[in-house]
C-alpha cells in the first residue's frame, strides 16, 4: 500500500498503540487471525484495506458462518471493532464462543435497499465489516466498496459471491464428530478450507482446521490423553492459551497446502 | 434523644378528601358530601356532619341519615395532587415543610415565628397566604412535637413552650389514632392521655409492645421525631417554546442541540448525569409525542440531537411502521420541545477501558454506527448481549446500539469465551462454566457479581450453532420405513430417525442423531408454556442441525453452520 511510507508525526502516531493490540513484525496494517488460518492469507492476517471474501457453498452445509467467526475472532479480541451486515440469523452465542467480543460487534440484520450506503458508512469507522452479499450487486458498486475499504484501511469480508476479492475462502468439506446413532453430541468439525485469489495469493491453498474445535466440549481432562472416539493423536492446546513462539501454536493445521 | 421536642407549627385542612374532591372534580364541598373507601365513610363535609353523618358509617347508613348526600370515591392520589399547591403556598412563606399526609403539613416553628414576629403572627400569616393563594381553609396549631401540634391544630391553639404534657393530659386516648389500643386502654380504665402517660414506661413496653411504647411517649409529650423536611427536587427539565412552529425535522434537531447543551450545563451544575432521557414534543394542535431513550454512557449534545431527529423523523414520516404502534402523523408544527432527564445519577466520570478500548477507535466506530442508525433508524443497528436461556435464541438479546447492554434473562452465557477464560478447557456439557463474564467492560462491572445466576438446566451444550433461525423451519422426520418419527410424552422415540425433509425440499439422509433432550418451560403459566424435545442430527452431506419437536411438529431451530 501507498500508506506504508509514513513520515514525521504520523510515524509517531503509528508507534503509539493500545496495549491490547500487540503488533509483532507485520505492523498493525495486518489484523491478527487465528494461527490455524494464517497459512491461507497472503499476509498471515487480515491486511487492512483488503477484501477477503468467504464463499457460500450449498445452503445448510457450507460452514461459512463458522469460518467468518474464526476470521474475526483474533482481531476482535485484540480490540478491533467489527460489524456484520445482512445476516439476520447470526448466532451471537457462537460468536462469543469463537472469541469475538460482543460489545465491539455491531449487527445490522436487515439493511434493506440501503445496503451499499450502510456498508460504506461502516467501512468508514469499523475495522472489519462482514456483509452478506445481496443477490444483485453490480460490479461498479462492489468495486466502489472495495476501493473505499482500501482507502479507509478497513477489511471488507463479503459473505457470498464476490468477484475481485483479494482472497476468496471457501469451505470445501465439513465433517462433524461426536454424534452417533442415538448417542453422543456434536463436538467438533473438521473443515477443509480452500483459498484462491490474486497476486500473492494466486496459488490455491487448502488446509484442514477444526471449526469449532473441541476445546469447548472436551470432557476428559487433558492429562488423561485423547478423547475416546476421536482419532487424532495429540489434543490441541486450548485456543486461547498463550504459546511462546508462533509456529508452536499450530499443531491443528493437519495438512499443509495442497 | 436529648433535648426538648421540636417546636412545631402544624397546618391542618379539615375534611381534606372532601376539599380535594371539590378542587379536582368540582364536587361542591358546601353540599353534603361523603368520601367513601371500602363502603365506609372516610371524610364528610360540614353539612353532612350536621345531618348526623360520621366517619366509619356504611354508605347505606350515611344515605339514610342524609338522603341528598353526594358520594365520592376515595382517591389518595387526588388528595395528594390537590394538596401540592397548598404545600407550595406554605413554602412561599416558610421553608422546610414536611407533608405528614394529604391535608396536613408541619414545619419547624422557630424560623417563621422569629421572622414574622411571633408564633401567632406566623400561623395567621400562613393560614392567610394559603387561603389567598389556594382558596383553602385551614387551621394551625403550635406545640412541642408533631403529635401535640396536630391536636393543637384541631382546636386552633398555640400551646406555650413546655406546656404540651399538660395540654395532652386531658385529651382522650382515642387521640392517639390507634383504635385497638384506645379500646383496650379504655377497658383497662385508662381514659385520658395523662393517665396513660402516668403508667411506667417499662410496663407499657412489656404489655403493649413497641407501638404501645411509642404511643406512650407521644402521650407524655415526648415526641422526639425530627421533621423530615421535604426538599424540593431540582427541576432538571429543560423546555423550549417556539413562536414559529417548527415543521422541519432538521430544524427541530438543530433546536434540540441548543436545548441539549442547556441540559448538560444544568446537569453538570448539580454534578449529575442521566442514563435515560425523555424527549417530549408538542405540536401547535396539542398533540404530544413522548419517548424515553436509554443510553449506556452519557448522551452528548450531538447524540441528543440525533435522537430528537430520529424520534421526529419517525413521527413526521409516519413510516417505518414496524410493530404498527406509531402515533398518527402530527397535523401542525412543533411549538415546544422538552428534555426530561430520567434515571439521574451522580456523575462519577466515565471510566475508560484500561487497554484503550475506549479511545479513538471507539469514537470512530460510534460515529459510523450512529450514521447507520441515522440511515435505517435506531433499532436497525444492534449489539448482542448473552444471557441465560435454554435455546440458542433465548440466550441472545439484541439491543439497539447505544442502549444499556442488559441481558434478557439472568445467567451466565454458556461459554463467554475471550481472554478471561483461564485455560479451563474441560467445561462439562450443561454445567455452568466457571468464568468471569467478560462481555461487560470497565464501568458496568460494579454490581454484577453478587447476584446468583440461575443455571438453566437443559440448555443446549456447546458448541452453539452459528446460524440461529428467528422463525423455525417446519420439517418432517421419518424412520427407515418411511413412517413419521414420534416422540411420546414419556420421551420414547418411536423409531430411529432416518430421513429429514425440510419444507418441501428433497429428503436428506440422517447419519447421526442424539436426543430427545426435553425442555419444559414455564409450565406454570399456561399462555407461555412450551414443552419441547430437542435433537441434534447430522446429515449425510455433512450438515448438522438442531431440531425440536413440539406438539408433534418437527422444527429446525438452528444450524451448526
- When scoring A74, A93, A173, A214 by the number of chain B Cβ atoms within 10 A, the one with the most, hence best to mutate, is A93
Q: Is the pLDDT of residue B420 over 70?
A: no
Per-residue pLDDT band for A146 (boundaries 50, 70, 90) equals very high
Q: CB–CB of B426 and A220 under 8 A?
A: yes
For residue B395, list chain A residues with Cβ-Cβ distance below 8 A.
Answer: 93
For residue A110, list chain B residues with Cβ-Cβ distance below 8 A.
Answer: 380
Q: Is the pLDDT of residue A135 over 90?
A: no
Taking the CA of residue B557 and the nearest CA in chain A, the distance in Å comes to 11
For B423-434, the pLDDT digits (tens) are: 333 333 333 333
Q: What is the model's pLDDT at position B305?
A: 79
Per-residue pLDDT band for A53 (boundaries 50, 70, 90) equals very high
- Please tell me if residue B266 touches chain A, with a CB cutoff of 8 Å: no
Per-residue pLDDT band for A249 (boundaries 50, 70, 90) equals very low
Q: CB–CB of A63 and B561 under 8 A?
A: yes
For A228-245, the pLDDT digits (tens) are: 444 444 444 444 444 343
For B13-70, the pLDDT digits (tens) are: 998 999 999 888 888 888 899 999 989 998 999 899 998 898 888 999 999 998 998 8
- Higher pLDDT residue, A161 or B2? A161
- Please tell me if residue B396 touches chain A, with a CB cutoff of 8 Å: yes
Per-residue pLDDT band for A39 (boundaries 50, 70, 90) equals confident
Q: CB–CB of B369 and A175 under 8 A?
A: no
Q: CB–CB of B421 and A240 under 8 A?
A: yes
| Pairs across A and B, CB distance < 8 A | 239
Q: What is the model's pLDDT at position B345?
A: 67
Q: Is the pLDDT of residue A198 over 80?
A: yes
Per-residue pLDDT band for B417 (boundaries 50, 70, 90) equals very low
Which residue in chain A is spatially nearest to B498 when comparing CA positions?
A181
Q: What is the model's pLDDT at position A235?
A: 44
Taking the CA of residue A17 and the nearest CA in chain B, the distance in Å comes to 9
Q: What is the model's pLDDT at position B332?
A: 80
Taking the CA of residue B246 and the nearest CA in chain A, the distance in Å comes to 28
> Could you tell me which residues are beta bridge partners of residue A247?
none
For B246-279, the pLDDT digits (tens) are: 878 788 888 888 888 888 888 877 777 776 788 8
Q: What is the model's pLDDT at position B322?
A: 43
Q: Is the pLDDT of residue A24 over 70?
A: no
Which residue in chain B is spatially nearest to A73 when comparing CA positions?
B418
Least confident of A192-201, B191-200, B427-436: B427-436
DSSP string, B447-508: TSSSSPPP--TTPPPSSPPSEEEEEEEEEEEEETTSPBP-B-TT--BSS-EEEEEETTS--E
Mean pLDDT for chain A overall: 76
Q: What is the model's pLDDT at position B462?
A: 83
Mean pLDDT for chain B overall: 81
> Could you tell me which residues are beta bridge partners of residue B40?
B37, B58
Q: What is the model's pLDDT at position B92?
A: 87
- Neighbouring CB atoms inside 10 A of A231's CB total 7
For B132-154, the pLDDT digits (tens) are: 998 888 999 999 888 899 999 99
For residue A220, list chain B residues with Cβ-Cβ distance below 8 A.
Answer: 426
The average pLDDT across A246-258 equals: 40
The average pLDDT across A160-168 equals: 88
User: Cα dihedral angle (A66, A71, A76, A80), rounded to 10 degrees?
Assistant: -140
Residues 6+ apart with CB under 8 A from B187: none
Q: What is the model's pLDDT at position B348?
A: 55
Q: What percent of chain B lies above the pLDDT cut of 90?
A: 23
For residue A60, list chain B residues with Cβ-Cβ distance below 8 A.
Answer: 502, 539, 541, 543, 545, 559, 561
Per-residue pLDDT band for B403 (boundaries 50, 70, 90) equals confident
Q: CB–CB of B383 and A18 under 8 A?
A: no
- Please tell me if residue B382 touches chain A, with a CB cutoff of 8 Å: yes
Question: Which of B:421-450 have CB within 8 Å of A?
Answer: 421, 423, 425-429, 438-441
The candidate with the shortest Cα–Cα distance to B89, out of B39, B29, B131, B28, is B131
Q: What is the model's pLDDT at position B316?
A: 67
Q: Is the pLDDT of residue B219 over 60?
A: yes
* Distance of alpha carbon B531 from alpha carbon B392, whole angstroms: 16
Q: CB–CB of A219 and B355 under 8 A?
A: no
Per-residue pLDDT band for A218 (boundaries 50, 70, 90) equals low
Q: What percent of chain A lies above the pLDDT cut of 90?
A: 28
Which of A90, A97, A107 is closest, CB to CB, to B463?
A97
For residue A182, list chain B residues with Cβ-Cβ distance below 8 A.
Answer: 493, 496, 513-514
The average pLDDT across B362-379 equals: 81
In what order do the strands lie in the sheet containing B40-44? B40-44, B33-37, B70-73
For B175-185, the pLDDT digits (tens) are: 888 889 999 99
What are residue B68's phi and psi, to 5 degrees? -90, 25
- Neighbouring CB atoms inside 10 A of B341's CB total 20
Give A10-14 contacts, CB < 8 A, sequence gap 24+.
none
Amino acid at each position: 500500500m501507498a500508506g506504508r511510507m509514513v513520515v514525521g508525526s504520523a510515524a509517531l502516531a503509528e508507534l503509539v498503540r493500545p496495549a491490547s493490540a500487540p503488533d509483532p513484525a507485520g505492523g498493525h496494517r495486518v489484523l491478527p487471525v487465528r494461527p490455524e488460518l494464517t497459512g491461507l492469507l497472503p499476509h498471515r492476517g487480515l491486511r487492512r484495506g483488503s477484501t477477503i471474501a468467504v464463499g457460500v457453498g450449498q445452503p445448510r452445509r457450507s460452514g461459512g458462518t463458522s469460518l467468518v467467526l474464526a476470521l474475526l475472532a483474533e482481531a476482535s479480541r485484540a480490540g478491533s471493532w467489527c460489524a456484520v451486515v445482512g445476516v439476520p440469523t447470526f448466532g451471537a452465542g457462537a460468536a462469543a464462543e469463537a472469541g469475538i467480543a460482543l460489545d465491539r460487534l455491531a449487527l445490522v440484520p436487515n439493511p434493506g435497499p440501503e445496503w451499499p450506503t450502510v456498508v460504506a458508512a461502516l467501512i468508514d469507522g469499523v475495522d472489519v465489516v462482514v456483509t452478506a452479499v445481496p443477490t444483485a450487486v453490480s460490479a461498479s458498486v462492489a468495486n466502489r466498496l472495495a476501493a473505499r475499504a482500501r482507502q479507509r484501511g478497513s477489511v471488507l469480508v463479503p459473505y457470498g459471491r464476490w468477484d475481485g476479492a483479494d482472497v476468496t475462502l471457501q469451505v470445501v468439506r465439513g465433517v462433524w464428530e461426536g454424534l452417533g446413532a442415538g448417542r453422543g453430541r456434536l463436538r467438533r468439525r473438521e473443515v477443509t478450507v480452500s483459498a484462491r485469489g490474486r497476486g500473492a495469493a494466486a496459488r490455491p491453498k487448502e488446509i484442514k482446521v477444526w471449526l469449532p474445535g473441541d476445546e469447548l466440549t472436551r470432557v476428559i481432562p487433558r492429562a488423561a490423553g485423547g478423547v475416546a472416539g476421536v482419532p487424532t493423536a495429540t489434543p490441541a492446546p486450548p485456543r486461547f492459551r498463550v504459546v511462546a513462539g508462533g509456529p508452536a501454536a499450530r499443531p491443528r493445521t493437519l495438512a499443509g497446502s495442497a | 434523644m436529648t433535648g426538648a421536642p421540636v417546636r412545631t407549627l402544624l397546618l391542618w385542612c379539615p375534611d381534606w378528601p372532601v376539599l380535594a374532591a371539590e378542587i379536582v372534580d368540582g364536587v361542591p364541598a358546601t353540599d353534603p358530601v361523603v368520601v367513601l373507601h371500602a363502603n365506609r365513610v372516610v371524610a364528610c363535609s360540614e353539612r353532612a356532619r350536621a345531618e348526623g353523618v360520621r366517619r366509619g358509617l356504611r354508605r347505606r347508613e350515611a344515605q339514610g341519615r342524609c338522603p341528598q348526600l353526594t358520594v365520592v370515591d376515595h382517591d389518595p392520589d387526588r388528595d395528594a395532587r390537590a394538596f401540592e399547591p397548598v404545600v407550595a403556598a406554605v413554602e412561599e412563606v416558610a421553608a422546610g415543610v414536611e407533608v405528614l399526609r394529604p391535608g396536613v403539613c408541619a414545619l419547624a416553628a422557630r424560623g417563621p415565628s422569629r421572622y414574622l414576629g411571633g408564633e401567632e403572627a406566623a400561623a395567621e400569616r400562613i393560614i392567610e397566604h394559603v387561603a389567598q393563594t389556594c382558596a383553602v381553609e385551614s387551621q394551625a396549631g403550635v406545640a412541642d412535637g408533631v403529635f401535640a401540634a396536630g391536636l393543637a391544630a384541631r382546636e386552633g391553639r398555640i400551646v406555650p413552650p413546655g406546656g404540651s404534657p399538660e395540654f395532652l393530659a386531658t385529651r382522650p386516648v382515642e387521640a392517639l389514632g390507634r383504635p385497638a389500643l384506645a379500646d383496650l386502654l379504655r377497658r383497662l380504665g385508662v381514659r385520658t392521655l395523662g393517665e396513660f402517660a402516668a403508667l411506667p414506661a417499662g410496663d407499657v413496653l412489656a404489655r403493649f409492645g413497641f407501638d404501645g411504647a411509642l404511643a406512650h411517649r407521644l402521650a407524655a409529650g415526648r415526641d422526639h421525631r425530627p421533621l423530615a423536611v421535604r426538599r424540593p427536587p431540582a427541576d432538571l427539565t429543560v423546555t423550549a417554546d417556539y413562536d414559529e412552529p417548527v415543521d422541519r425535522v432538521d430544524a427541530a434537531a438543530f433546536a434540540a442541540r441548543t436545548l441539549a447543551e442547556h441540559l448538560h450545563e444544568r446537569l453538570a451544575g448539580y454534578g449529575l448525569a442521566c442514563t435515560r432521557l425523555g424527549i417530549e414534543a408538542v405540536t401547535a394542535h396539542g398533540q404530544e409525542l413522548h419517548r424515553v431513550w436509554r443510553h449506556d454512557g452519557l448522551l452528548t449534545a450531538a447524540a441528543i440531537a440525533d435522537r430528537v431527529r430520529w424520534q421526529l423523523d419517525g413521527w413526521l414520516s409516519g413510516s417505518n411502521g414496524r410493530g404498527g404502534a406509531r402515533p398518527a402523523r402530527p397535523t401542525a408544527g412543533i411549538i415546544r420541545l422538552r428534555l426530561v432527564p430520567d434515571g439521574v445519577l451522580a456523575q462519577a466520570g466515565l471510566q475508560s477501558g484500561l487497554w484503550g478500548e475506549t479511545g479513538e477507535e471507539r469514537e470512530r466506530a460510534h460515529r459510523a454506527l450512529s450514521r447507520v442508525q441515522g440511515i435505517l433508524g435506531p433499532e436497525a443497528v444492534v449489539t448482542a448481549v448473552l444471557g441465560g436461556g435454554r435455546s440458542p435464541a433465548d440466550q441472545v438479546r439484541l439491543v439497539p446500539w447505544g442502549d444499556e447492554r442488559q441481558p434478557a434473562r439472568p445467567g451466565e452465557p454458556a461459554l463467554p469465551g475471550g481472554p478471561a477464560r483461564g485455560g479451563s478447557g474441560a467445561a462439562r456439557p450443561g454445567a455452568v462454566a466457571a468464568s468471569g463474564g467478560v462481555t461487560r467492560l470497565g464501568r458496568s462491572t460494579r454490581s454484577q457479581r453478587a447476584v446468583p445466576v440461575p443455571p438453566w438446566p437443559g440448555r443446549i451444550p456447546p458448541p452453539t450453532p452459528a446460524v440461529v433461525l428467528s422463525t423455525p423451519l417446519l420439517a418432517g422426520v421419518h424412520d427407515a420405513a418411511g413412517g413419521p418419527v414420534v416422540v411420546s410424552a414419556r420421551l420414547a422415540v418411536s423409531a430411529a430417525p432416518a430421513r429429514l425433509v425440510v419444507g418441501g425440499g428433497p429428503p436428506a439422509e440422517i447419519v447421526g442423531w442424539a436426543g430427545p433432550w426435553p425442555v419444559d418451560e414455564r409450565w406454570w403459566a399456561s399462555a407461555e408454556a412450551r414443552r419441547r424435545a430437542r435433537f441434534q442430527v447430522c446429515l449425510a452431506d455433512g450438515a448438522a442441525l438442531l431440531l425440536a419437536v413440539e406438539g408433534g411438529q418437527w422444527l429446525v431451530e438452528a444450524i451448526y453452520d
